[in-house]
Amino acid sequence: MKFGKKLGGRVLFPVALGVAASVTGMALFSQGAAAATTPGSSNSSSTNSVTYGGTSGAGKAPITYLKLDPSTIALGKTLFVENCSSCHGDTAAGTSRAPNLQGLGAATIDFWISTGRMPLADPTVQATEKPSRFTRAQELAIDAYVSSLAPGGPAIPQVNLGAASLSAGQGLFSTNCAACHTITGVGDALAGGVYAPSLYPATTTQIAEAVRTGPGNMPRFGTGNLSTQQVADIVKYVKYLQHPNNAGGIGLGHVGPVTEGFVGILIGLGSLMIAGYWIGGRAR
Amino acid sequence: MSYKPIDFLDERLGTAKFTRKSLNKIFPDHWSFMLGEIAMYSFFILLGTGVFLTLFFVPSSAPTVYHGSYAPLDGHVMSQAYASTLNLSFNVRAGLVMRQMHHWAANVFVAAIVVHLLRVFFTGAFRKPREINWLVGSLLLMLAILEGFLGYSLPDDLISGTGIRIAYSITLSVPVVGSYLASFLFGGQFPGDKIIPRFYTIHILLIPAIMAGLLGAHLAIMWHQKHTQYKGRGRTEKNVVGIAFWPAYAMQAGGFFFLTASVIAALGGLVQINPIWMYGPYIPYKVSYAVQPDWYMGWLDGALRLFPSWEIVGFGHMIPTIFFPAVLLPGITFGLLMAWPWIERRFTKDSQSHNLLENPRDNPWRTSIGVGVMAFYMVLFFASSTDVLANTFNLTLNFVLWAFRILVFVIPPIAAFVAYQLAKEARSVPLAGTPRKAMVIFRSPGGEYTTEESEPRSELVLKHSVFHGEEPLPLPEEARIHGQEVQTPVLEEERFVFSAPSAVAVVSEEIGERPSGGSGVYRIPRGAPGAGGGLFSPRGPRPASDGEDSEDEE
């Protein structure tokens, strides 16, 4: 029939395609919903028992401290002189360009070199995270050398996540950390060219070191502010934030409505405008 | 099939005449007229998903200890609103996808309203006699933004709670009455335990009801006044050329509804939005950095960020800084928006009615003003993400802030100037806007090809299928309904040559002279040939009046 043929060409096709797309969309989202609501799914199970790094056993101390090997001090001195002494001086006593490192403790030294922030390319801007220049053994040797020069400061913490509480960590993180690092830990720019870095690349040891030593503009949280247990709880929650429960589909960088708005306008409205352009008339 | 129920209604209410008239209603067919439809369909989806959410959401600030399936918040004290949103997201089947669809639909809804408004503005569709619908549409935009903010606030998470705190401060900043207003709205000091239930009532009852009423009025006025159309052959201020509501337009619109639903469903199922479980419950002493509102509040947030911290003292009272960007700016914005048809008329001195739209290039002044104003709000919109931009591009926050403070004054005049020049330039192009002629290729039986320049497509469409005339169409004769011979073979051929002028009848409808309805309305008496399918019988291109019809039958 003539009418049917003509109608089928221009009008019924969009209808059929729309229905088909709706059904496909429903099929897709019902899967997503099932993943989100089933307690046994991979997302939920990983949040229930976080065992990053293979530590096990509640009841152990939440944080233990690494004992550095004195036999590595000589190697550490060599590395320090090669890489650090041009600014910090041969005995880490500081120069006009860089501060005195003596007595700061192994945790401070370890944080700065293991996150790649030291050695520093440009001392006028905030040190950025980059791949470490050293192997882990070399880093520990430098830590051993600098901490052998003067006593004091925290030792390198090793966090036992099995003894830490995720939900206590959420409360402590939102109270103490979210004001700069944002509640999702993605980090953000602060006033005057300073920024709170993203927490996503940090290891458990680095997080605990940062809390205890307060690198850069970050406040130092001593034992009077946060107990050892609380530090471990925060570390556990930050490790969770690195792989959070991403129910609901593709996460949009966890920066909030900025990316959501762009997706809503460009993809949501944009695709519908293209659809309208396709269905609707164009000739004047 | 029995028509008894239809007859019953018709004999008592006269529905057949109205229905036939409505089904024959002519709509101009252009893709830019479908932007408002996206908004309307999003509104329907918002209503549907919203009703689902109300079944599980608990609008209460009463504290509760959470022991649900989201482990990182186990044992936390939180409002029942937040706990029920967590429960809705993790433990209600399809709850999360419904919540995400609701949120995505809200983002698409306001975006569609804005582009629809821009289309109406730049084509001059708001001119007499359509000023009332401009006002109704502006009100709908304001209500949609407010409604979106309220809905965003309801989960009572750390981010949205910060938004409510900002709203409280803005309310306080209103001179003289601010503290009273804030106290009435929040039932005392911030945060209190009243605001979530109050927002809930306003969000699910008051504003949706007003919006549904305004939407109905918006459509009814459009229906009554008839839709505007672009200039083109056969289109005048006195007619409407387009497709009939049934079946062509109804199918097109219905298909578009499904497409809108499918895009929103796909976003809701595949792309995460507002993962409130990662934000934690709102506790007034806690704050997260990097808090933005949803996009449609972005321009207000940007204005708040950019406005310098001036503290203006008058009559011994200080007017808080945020009053200017957060109360005065939106007041001026929506005031000017709603007054625009009258502002323009003051300058154009144009009191004529207009049913034909203007191309943006036809009116360089309006186009440039619109582009300039749009650029101003775009800069404010981007200014709401100063921190994200600074962090993403490794700039200092202060630099980004000052860049926006300068750009907000520099970009709009430049954009307006460029738009003005482009519009003027486009107008000077010879034959701008006239349809291009198609080249028709013929092959003779011997295999020889010849080419011939055709008439413009729109003219062909009109020639074969437009009904001009004031009288109602004559009752079609049997031969014309069933006989293939009157179905013009010419059109069949054109389908191949011109890739289908239109699968549906293009007919025109008169405007103006008649108080309502229009011509081209006819009713087939029962029993007459062609009445078989009743109202829902398929109709192809209508036979035109005799003079033009003869051409088709050659």
Amino acid sitting at position B72: P
Which single residue is written with the structure tokens 């089947």?
Answer: B93
Mean pLDDT of B156-179: 93
Selected for mutation to probe chain B from A23, A24, A37 (highest B CB count within 10 Å) is A37
> Do residue A183 and residue B280 have CB atoms under 8 angstroms apart?
yes
Looking at the fold, whether A191 and A139 belong to one and the same domain comes out as: yes
Looking at the fold, whether A279 and A228 belong to one and the same domain comes out as: no
Residues 454-483 of B with CB under 8 A from A: 457-458, 461
**Domain limit, last residue, from B268, B294, B327:** B327
Amino acid sitting at position A15: V
Packing angle, helices B95-122 and A13-37, rounded to 10: 140
Task: Report the percent of chain A where pLDDT is more than 70.
Answer: 79
Residues of A in contact with B435 (CB under 8 A): 283-284
Of residues A191, A212, A209, the one with CA closest to residue A126: A191
Rounded (to 5) percent helix, strand, coil in chain A: 55, 5, 40
- B4 pLDDT band, cuts 50/70/90, is confident
What residue in B sits closest to A35 (Cα-Cα)? Answer: B90
* Domain, as residue range, for A258: 250-284
Q: Which residues is A189 bridged to in the sheet?
A: A195
Lowest mean pLDDT among B362-366, B372-376, B385-389, B426-430: B426-430
Mean pLDDT of B52-56: 97
- pLDDT at position A280, please? 86
Q: What is the 3-state secondary structure (H, E, C) of B442-497?
A: EECCCCCEEEEECCCHHHHHHHHHCCCCCCCCCCCCHHHHHCHHHCCHHHHHHHHH
Q: Are A248 and B272 in contact (CB under 8 A)?
A: yes
Looking at the fold, whether A258 and A238 belong to one and the same domain comes out as: no
Of residues B505, B501, B515, the one with CA closest to residue B465: B505
- pLDDT at position B248, please? 87
Mean pLDDT of B128-146: 96
CA pair distance A177, A185, nearest whole angstrom: 8
Q: Are B234 and B468 in contact (CB under 8 A)?
A: yes
**Domain limit, last residue, from B327, B358, B381:** B327
Whether chain A has a CB inside 8 Å of the CB on B280: the answer is: yes
Q: Are A229 and A172 in contact (CB under 8 A)?
A: no
Looking at the fold, whether B307 and B441 belong to one and the same domain comes out as: no
Contacts of B326 (CB under 8 A, 6+ apart): B170, B173, B300, B303, B304
Evaluated on CA atoms A248, A249, A251, A252, the torsion sign reads negative
Strands B77-79 and B63-65: antiparallel
For residue B158, being part of any structural domain is answered with yes
Rg (alpha carbons) of chain B, rounded to whole number: 29
Q: Identify which has the larger pLDDT, A138 or B541.
A: A138
> Do residue A272 and residue B38 have CB atoms under 8 angstroms apart?
yes
Specify burial of residue B224 (Cβ count, 10 A radius: 0-12, 13-18, 19+).
Answer: exposed
- pLDDT at position B450, please? 81
Mean pLDDT of B108-121: 97
| Distance (Å) of CA B70 to CA B77, B80, B86, B461 | 14, 15, 8, 62
DSSP states along B189-226: SSSTTTHHHHHHHIIIIIHHHHHHHHHHHHHHHHHHH-
Q: Are B240 and B226 in contact (CB under 8 A)?
A: yes
pLDDT at B329 over 90: yes
Selected for mutation to probe chain B from A1, A3, A128, A200 (highest B CB count within 10 Å) is A3
- pLDDT at position B465, please? 41
pLDDT at B506 over 60: no
Task: Report the percent of chain B where pLDDT is more than 90.
Answer: 61
> Do residue B108 and residue A181 have CB atoms under 8 angstroms apart?
no
CATH code of residue B193: 1.20.810.10
B226: left (phi over 0), alpha (psi -120 to 50) or beta: left
- pLDDT at position B111, please? 97
What residue in B sits closest to A242 (Cα-Cα)? Answer: B278
Most confident of A52-56, A115-119, B207-211: B207-211
For residue A167, being part of any structural domain is answered with yes
DSSP state letter for A64 = E
- pLDDT at position B479, please? 35
Count of domains in chain B? 2
Mean pLDDT of A136-142: 95
pLDDT at B402 over 60: yes
Lowest mean pLDDT among B6-15, B84-93, B423-432, B458-467: B458-467
pLDDT at B221 over 70: yes
pLDDT in tens, B58-100: 999 999 999 999 999 999 999 999 999 999 999 999 999 999 9
Q: Give the closest of B269, B387, B397 to A249, CB-based.
A: B269
Most confident of A10-14, A15-19, B419-423, B481-485: B419-423
- pLDDT at position B273, please? 95
Q: Which residues is B79 bridged to in the sheet?
A: B63
- pLDDT at position B439, please? 73
Selected for mutation to probe chain A from B96, B109, B356, B357 (highest A CB count within 10 Å) is B96
Looking at the fold, whether B308 and B454 belong to one and the same domain comes out as: no
Our CA-based measurement puts residue B544 at a distance from the nearest CA of chain A, in whole angstroms, of 17
Our CA-based measurement puts residue A232 at a distance from the nearest CA of chain B, in whole angstroms, of 14
- pLDDT at position B454, please? 64
Residue pairs between chains A and B whose CB atoms are closer than 8 Å: 333
CA pair distance A208, A157, nearest whole angstrom: 7
> Do residue A33 and residue B503 have CB atoms under 8 angstroms apart?
no
For residue A192, being part of any structural domain is answered with yes
Q: Give the closest of B69, B97, B288 to A33, CB-based.
A: B97
pLDDT at B473 over 90: no
Mean pLDDT of B362-384: 96
Residues of B in contact with A1 (CB under 8 A): 538
- pLDDT at position B508, please? 55
- pLDDT at position B519, please? 36
DSSP states along B81-145: HHHHHHHHHHTSTTHHHHHHHHHHHHHHHHHHHHHHHHHHHHTTTTSTT-HHHHHHHHHHHHHHH
> Do residue A183 and residue B31 have CB atoms under 8 angstroms apart?
no
CA pair distance B212, B44, nearest whole angstrom: 10
Average pLDDT, chain B: 83
- pLDDT at position B18, please? 83
Specify burial of residue B440 (Cβ count, 10 A radius: 0-12, 13-18, 19+).
Answer: middle
Question: Tokens representing A194?
Answer: 């300073």
Whether chain A has a CB inside 8 Å of the CB on B158: the answer is: yes
Whether chain A has a CB inside 8 Å of the CB on B247: the answer is: yes
Coil, helix or strand for B507?
strand
Selected for mutation to probe chain B from A5, A260, A274, A282 (highest B CB count within 10 Å) is A260
The interface predicted TM-score of the complex, written ipTM, equals: 0.80
> Do residue B290 and residue A272 have CB atoms under 8 angstroms apart?
no
> Do residue B158 and residue A268 have CB atoms under 8 angstroms apart?
no
* Half-sphere exposure (Cβ direction) of B69: Cα atoms closer than 13 Å: 20
Contacts of B34 (CB under 8 A, 6+ apart): A276, A279, A280, B256
Selected for mutation to probe chain A from B252, B257, B282, B455 (highest A CB count within 10 Å) is B252
What residue in A sits closest to B68 (Cα-Cα)? Answer: A39
- The pTM (predicted TM-score) of the whole model is 0.81
- pLDDT at position B436, please? 66
Whether chain A has a CB inside 8 Å of the CB on B97: the answer is: yes
* Domain, as residue range, for B235: 33-327
For residue B458, being part of any structural domain is answered with yes
For residue B343, being part of any structural domain is answered with no
For residue B50, being part of any structural domain is answered with yes
pLDDT at B356 over 80: yes
For residue B358, being part of any structural domain is answered with no
Looking at the fold, whether A127 and A162 belong to one and the same domain comes out as: yes
| Other Cβ atoms within 10 Å of B449 Cβ, number | 8
pLDDT at A190 over 70: yes
Whether chain A has a CB inside 8 Å of the CB on B422: the answer is: no
Coil, helix or strand for A43?
helix
Looking at the fold, whether A175 and A258 belong to one and the same domain comes out as: no
Evaluated on CA atoms B243, B245, B247, B250, the torsion sign reads positive
DSSP state letter for B275 = -
CA pair distance B326, A88, nearest whole angstrom: 51
Residues of B in contact with A48 (CB under 8 A): 71
Mean pLDDT of B118-137: 96
For residue A169, being part of any structural domain is answered with yes
CA pair distance A118, B114, nearest whole angstrom: 50
For residue A182, being part of any structural domain is answered with yes
Q: What are phi and psi of A155, to 5 degrees?
A: -85, 175
CA pair distance A213, A105, nearest whole angstrom: 9
DSSP state letter for A97 = S
Q: Identify which has the larger pLDDT, B499 or B222.
A: B222
Residues of B in contact with A191 (CB under 8 A): 397-398
Looking at the fold, whether A257 and A137 belong to one and the same domain comes out as: no
What residue in B sits closest to A29 (Cα-Cα)? Answer: B269
pLDDT in tens, A208-263: 999 999 998 999 999 999 999 999 999 999 999 999 999 999 988 888 888 999 99
CA pair distance A161, A163, nearest whole angstrom: 5
Looking at the fold, whether A265 and A129 belong to one and the same domain comes out as: no
pLDDT in tens, B514-529: 333 333 334 444 444 4
Looking at the fold, whether B310 and B450 belong to one and the same domain comes out as: no
Mean pLDDT of B474-501: 35
For residue A39, being part of any structural domain is answered with no
For residue A27, being part of any structural domain is answered with no
What residue in B sits closest to A177 (Cα-Cα)? Answer: B288
Q: Give the closest of A44, A256, A273 to B159, CB-based.
A: A256
CATH code of residue A107: 1.10.760.10
Packing angle, helices B35-54 and B207-225, rounded to 10: 150
Of residues A85, A284, A114, A223, the one with CA closest to residue B434: A284
Looking at the fold, whether A259 and A220 belong to one and the same domain comes out as: no
Our CA-based measurement puts residue A139 at a distance from the nearest CA of chain B, in whole angstroms, of 28
Contacts of B322 (CB under 8 A, 6+ apart): B169, B170, B173, B304, B307
* Half-sphere exposure (Cβ direction) of B424: Cα atoms closer than 13 Å: 8
Mean pLDDT of B458-462: 47
Looking at the fold, whether B311 and B444 belong to one and the same domain comes out as: no
Residues of B in contact with A193 (CB under 8 A): 396-399
For residue B407, being part of any structural domain is answered with no
CA pair distance A86, B58, nearest whole angstrom: 63
- pLDDT at position B433, please? 67
pLDDT in tens, A42-101: 333 333 334 434 444 556 899 999 999 999 999 999 999 999 999 999 889 999 989 999
For residue A170, being part of any structural domain is answered with yes
Residues of A in contact with B268 (CB under 8 A): 29
> Do residue A277 and residue B269 have CB atoms under 8 angstroms apart?
no
- pLDDT at position A23, please? 52
Going through A125-238 in order, the beta strands assigned E by DSSP cover 157-159, 188-189, 195-196
Amino acid sitting at position B318: M
Whether chain A has a CB inside 8 Å of the CB on B82: the answer is: no
Looking at the fold, whether A207 and A272 belong to one and the same domain comes out as: no
What residue in B sits closest to A10 (Cα-Cα)? Answer: B503
Looking at the fold, whether A147 and A198 belong to one and the same domain comes out as: yes
Mean pLDDT of B131-136: 96
pLDDT at A144 over 70: yes
For residue B337, being part of any structural domain is answered with no
Mean pLDDT of A164-183: 95
Mean pLDDT of A10-16: 51
Q: Give the closest of B257, B279, B538 to A183, CB-based.
A: B279
**Domain limit, last residue, from B327, B345, B370:** B327
Residues of A in contact with B259 (CB under 8 A): 14, 17-18, 21, 272, 275, 279
Looking at the fold, whether B65 and B195 belong to one and the same domain comes out as: yes
Looking at the fold, whether A59 and A177 belong to one and the same domain comes out as: yes
pLDDT at B493 over 70: no
| Distance (Å) of CA A265 to CA A277, B261, B517 | 16, 15, 38
Count of domains in chain A? 2
Strands A195-196 and B239-244: unpaired
Looking at the fold, whether A136 and A267 belong to one and the same domain comes out as: no
Furthest C-alpha separation in chain B: 97
What residue in A sits closest to B73 (Cα-Cα)? Answer: A167
Rounded (to 5) percent helix, strand, coil in chain B: 60, 5, 35
Residues of B in contact with A195 (CB under 8 A): 390-391
Q: Are B252 and A12 in contact (CB under 8 A)?
A: no
- Cis? peptide before B330, omega within 30° of 0: no
Of residues B550, B545, B536, B547, the one with CA closest to residue B24: B536
pLDDT at B233 over 50: yes
> Do residue A12 and residue B70 have CB atoms under 8 angstroms apart?
no
Lowest mean pLDDT among A10-14, B199-203, B281-285, B323-327: A10-14
What residue in B sits closest to A45 (Cα-Cα)? Answer: B71
Selected for mutation to probe chain B from A1, A13, A15 (highest B CB count within 10 Å) is A15
> Do residue A33 and residue B461 have CB atoms under 8 angstroms apart?
no
Our CA-based measurement puts residue A83 at a distance from the nearest CA of chain B, in whole angstroms, of 27
CA pair distance B309, B292, nearest whole angstrom: 20
Q: Give the closest of B257, B384, B504 to A11, CB-based.
A: B504
For residue B367, being part of any structural domain is answered with no
Q: Are A161 and A238 in contact (CB under 8 A)?
A: no
Mean pLDDT of B458-486: 41
Of residues B270, B275, B73, the one with CA closest to residue A35: B270
The helix or strand, by DSSP H or E, that contains position B533, with its residue range, turns out to be none
Rg (alpha carbons) of chain A, rounded to whole number: 27
